[in-house]
């Protein structure tokens, strides 16, 4: 089992009950929040999430249909060479690194997991190109295991609200995870991501935010802070 990073959790602005209330307000503002990546099975979501690094979901969704038509299974992708993928995934950026990650991921699935995507965080993060955020995306959306992905939007929004306090995604994941029942983790992450994309942008639209009365950023007069204003 992979060693867990020891982290100390700083004191938060809100008690956990307020965190749950804030999330309910935001869930009502963004009903049905879910990943915007298109996928039909865990393998496709894993590959799409690897491609989504530093790229919009919209652009990834333009690339993946032809990619999955050519490589419909991990076994098919495992036989490819990274260079043979490059032109196909070039629009997603960082295509050389991503090509190696995709082929390495598929080969590891075939070699160690009989070609299936494991429903286990520690096993997922051992796959090439798969970090904790990607693993949590796949667990929560395609494998029925609660996952709490923390991306730049979750990091920014949660810190501004005061429901987390750290620039470290692992710490923020643990702070939010401690405040919420496991069954709500994935929806909470999807909701915060959507809120960060639409409302709590780098320049936030606070007058359109249903959680503004509970927001630490607003209470403190919108003062910038490294933990709150990650892009
Ligand atoms: S009130 Fe403003 S800063 Fe606070 S969460 Fe809403 S949009 Fe973001």
Q: Find the Cα–Cα–Cα–Cα dihedral 77, 82, 84, 90, rounded to 10°.
A: 100
Output the residue whose Cα is nearest ligand 1's atom 4. Answer: 215
CA angle 108, 109, 110 (to 5 degrees): 90
Output the residue whose Cα is nearest ligand 1's atom 2. Answer: 206
Out of 57, 79, 114, 133, the active site residue is 133
Per-residue pLDDT of the chain (231 residues; tens, 9 = 90+): 444 555 555 678 788 899 999 999 999 999 999 999 999 999 999 999 999 999 999 999 999 999 999 999 999 999 999 999 999 999 999 999 999 999 999 999 999 999 999 999 999 999 999 999 999 999 999 999 999 999 999 999 999 999 999 999 999 999 999 999 999 999 999 999 999 999 999 999 999 999 999 999 999 998 766 566 665
Instruction: Confirm whether 16-33+148-219 and 42-142 share one CATH topology.
Output: no
Domain extents in the chain: 16-33+148-219, 42-142
CA of 160 to the centre of ligand 1 (A): 7
Q: 16-33+148-219 is classed in which CATH architecture? A: Orthogonal Bundle (1.10)
Out of 151, 182, 201, 229, the active site residue is 151
Burial pattern 84-112, b for ≥16 Cβ within 10 A else e, equals ebeebbeebeebeebbbbbbbbbbbbbee
**Radius of gyration from C-alpha coordinates of the chain:** 18
Q: How many CA atoms lie within 13 A of 99 on its CB side?
A: 17
CA of 87 to the centre of ligand 1 (A): 40
Angle between helix axes 16-29 and 169-179 (nearest 10 degrees) is: 100
Ligand 1: nearest atom to the Cα of 212: 1
Query: Which token pair is 69?
Result: 């038509």
Domain 42-142: homologous superfamily in CATH? Hypothetical protein; domain 2 (1.10.340.30)
Q: Is 199 in the pocket of ligand 1 (CB under 6 A)?
A: yes
Q: Is 25 in the pocket of ligand 1 (CB under 6 A)?
A: no
CA of 22 to the centre of ligand 1 (A): 11
pTM summary value: 0.90
Q: Is 200 in the pocket of ligand 1 (CB under 6 A)?
A: yes
**Cα–Cα distances in Å, from 108 out to 89, 120, 126, 145, 189?**
20, 14, 9, 21, 28
CA of 57 to the centre of ligand 1 (A): 23
Output the residue whose Cα is nearest ligand 1's atom 8. Answer: 200
Q: Is 151 a catalytic residue?
A: yes
**Cα–Cα distances in Å, from 217 out to 14, 106, 149, 221, 231?**
12, 43, 22, 6, 15
Q: Is 57 a catalytic residue?
A: no
Other Cβ atoms within 10 Å of 19 Cβ, number: 24
Q: What is the pLDDT of residue 4?
A: 52
**Helix ranges restricted to H, 16-149:** 16-29, 42-51, 57-70, 74-78, 82-89, 95-113, 121-124, 132-142
CA of 218 to the centre of ligand 1 (A): 7
């Amino acid at each position: 089992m992979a060693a867990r990073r020891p982290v100390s959790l700083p004191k938060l602005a809100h008690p956990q009950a307020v965190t749950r209330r804030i999330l309910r307000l935001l869930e009502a503002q963004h009903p049905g929040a879910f990943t915007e990546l298109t996928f039909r099975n865990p393998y496709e979501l894993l590959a799409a999430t690897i491609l989504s690094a530093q790229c919009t979901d919209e652009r990834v969704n333009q690339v993946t249909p032809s990619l999955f038509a050519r490589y419909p299974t991990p076994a098919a992708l495992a036989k490819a060479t990274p260079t043979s993928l490059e032109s196909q995934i070039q629009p997603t950026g960082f295509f050389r690194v991503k090509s190696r990650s995709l082929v390495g991921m598929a080969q590891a699935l075939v070699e160690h997991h009989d070609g299936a995507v494991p429903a286990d965080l520690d096993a997922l993060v051992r796959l090439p190109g798969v970090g904790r955020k990607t693993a949590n995306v796949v667990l929560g959306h395609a494998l029925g295991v609660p996952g709490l992905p923390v991306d730049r939007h979750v990091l920014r929004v949660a810190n501004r609200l005061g429901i987390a306090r750290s620039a470290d995604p692992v710490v923020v994941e643990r702070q939010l995870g401690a405040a919420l029942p496991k069954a709500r983790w994935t929806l909470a992450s999807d909701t915060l991501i959507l809120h960060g994309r639409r409302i709590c942008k780098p320049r936030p639209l606070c007058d359109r935010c249903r959680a503004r009365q509970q927001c630490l950023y607003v209470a403190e007069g919108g003062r910038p802070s490294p933990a709150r204003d990650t892009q």
